[in-house]
């Protein structure tokens, strides 16, 4: 894992993850923007009450750091469900903050070069999927609800149907999220997992009366492996957004309102 500090921004990349160098990717922190508290400072939340001018400047800085056009970045209105959106084109001369009526969903897939798909998080798990054969991409927003609905499985199925993706060829990258060290859930949510997943003990453990700890990375890893992805195909960045509130927005650590950091993945243009 590389922690990159450039022009005031802090972001993370995994060198060598994409062995053929087909993509650009970055998991951005909350550092390096112009937003004021409680959105300080690199807030990218599309539904945020932060000022539009601040978010536009944050977008400019992020696109410049990654070397992509602002207009190439696609984000969804995320709703913690399982809907997958295929991105084939983006409206001209617009950005994620000026497009009317954002598409709704929690995962995007594309095989279009020059489009950069993004995930907004403040504890949820951003997951990148790369099919290096097609090539094609997926970007998944995996909170507990969308993970319960097996969003990674749905994204993988959508890539297989759209692009002929073979799970055995995929490369998976999981970014910073709230870790099992901090992610406490109650009996009601835990019971849903225990009733629906025979392997719940691999990602859920009791931590006291009415208290359970949930491991989002392990939960999604289990689902991907069951879908034909080899464990060796999955790479994770082991940073907890709740522990590292100095680096990341965290709803659990800060409450709402707070900002959203962005994770981006795109196929390089020819």
DSSP letters for 4-22 = EEETTEEEEE-TTSSTT--
Question: Could you read off the pLDDT of 53-91 as tens digits, one per residue?
Answer: 999 999 999 999 999 999 999 999 999 999 999 999 999
Position 54 scores a pLDDT of 98
User: Using CA atoms, how far apart are residues 264 and 247, in angstroms rounded to an integer?
Assistant: 17
For domain 2-178+216-267, give the CATH number: 3.60.140.10
Question: Could you read off the pLDDT of 144-173 as tens digits, one per residue?
Answer: 999 999 999 999 999 999 999 999 999 999
User: Using CA atoms, how far apart are residues 76 and 120, in angstroms rounded to an integer?
Assistant: 9
Two tokens, residue 123? 């504890």
- How many other C-beta atoms can be found within 10 angstroms of the C-beta atom of residue 255? 9
> Which of 246, 239, 83, 120 lies closest to 174 in space, CA to CA?
239
Q: What is the mean pLDDT of the chain?
A: 96
**DSSP character for 167?**
G
Percent with pLDDT over 90 in the chain: 97
Two tokens, residue 107? 């995962």
User: Using CA atoms, how far apart are residues 251 and 248, in angstroms rounded to an integer?
Assistant: 10
Cβ proximity of 231 and 222 under 8 Å: no
User: Using CA atoms, how far apart are residues 190 and 97, in angstroms rounded to an integer?
Assistant: 36
> Alpha carbon 3 to chain centroid distance?
17
* pLDDT of 270 over the 80 cut: no
Q: Could you give the 3-state DSSP secondary structure of residue 143?
A: coil
The three-point CA angle 89-94-96 to 5° equals 85
Q: Residue ranges of the alpha helices (H) in 20-136?
A: 52-66
Which residues pair with residue 94 across a beta bridge? Answer: none
Indicate the Cα dihedral angle 250, 175, 192, 198, nearest 10°. -150
pLDDT, average across residues 175-194: 97
Reported as a pLDDT band with limits 50, 70 and 90, residue 101 is confident
User: Using CA atoms, how far apart are residues 243 and 176, in angstroms rounded to an integer?
Assistant: 11
The answer to whether the predicted template modeling score (pTM) of the entire model surpasses 0.75 is yes
Question: Could you read off the pLDDT of 234-253 as tens digits, one per residue?
Answer: 999 999 999 999 999 999 99
Q: Residue ranges of the alpha helices (H) in 183-215?
A: 187-196
Two tokens, residue 120? 């907004």
Spans of all domains in the chain = 2-178+216-267, 180-214
User: Using CA atoms, how far apart are residues 146 and 126, in angstroms rounded to an integer?
Assistant: 12
- How many other C-beta atoms can be found within 10 angstroms of the C-beta atom of residue 151? 26
Q: What are the two backbone dihedrals, phi and then psi, of residue 77, each rounded to the nearest 5 degrees? A: -85, 105
């Amino acid at each position: 894992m590389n922690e990159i500090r450039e022009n005031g921004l802090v972001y993370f990349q995994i060198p060598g993850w994409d062995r053929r160098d087909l993509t650009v990717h970055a998991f951005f922190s909350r550092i390096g923007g112009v937003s004021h508290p409680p959105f300080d400072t690199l807030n990218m939340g599309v539904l945020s009450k932060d000022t539009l001018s601040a978010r536009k400047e944050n977008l400019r800085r992020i696109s410049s750091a990654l070397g992509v056009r602002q207009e190439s970045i696609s984000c969804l209105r995320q709703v913690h469900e399982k809907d997958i959106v295929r991105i084939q084109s983006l409206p001209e001369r617009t950005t994620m903050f000026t497009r009317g009526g954002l598409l709704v969903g929690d995962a995007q897939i594309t095989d279009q070069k020059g489009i950069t798909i993004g995930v907004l998080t403040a504890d949820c798990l951003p997951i990148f999927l790369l099919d290096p054969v097609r090539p094609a991409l997926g970007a998944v927003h995996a909170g507990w609800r969308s993970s319960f609905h097996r969003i990674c499985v749905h994204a993988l199925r959508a890539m297989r149907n759209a692009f002929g993706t073979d799970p055995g060829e995929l490369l998976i990258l999981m970014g910073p999220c709230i870790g099992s060290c901090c992610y406490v859930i109650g009996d009601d949510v835990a019971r849903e997992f225990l009733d629906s997943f025979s392997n719940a003990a691999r990602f859920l453990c009791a931590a006291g009366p009415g208290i359970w700890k949930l491991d989002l990375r392990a939960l999604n890893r289990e689902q991907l492996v069951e879908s034909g992805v080899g464990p060796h195909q999955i790479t994770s960045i082991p940073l907890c957004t709740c522990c590292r509130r100095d680096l990341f927005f965290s709803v659990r650590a800060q409450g709402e309102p707070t900002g959203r950091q962005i994770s981006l993945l795109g196929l390089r243009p020819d």
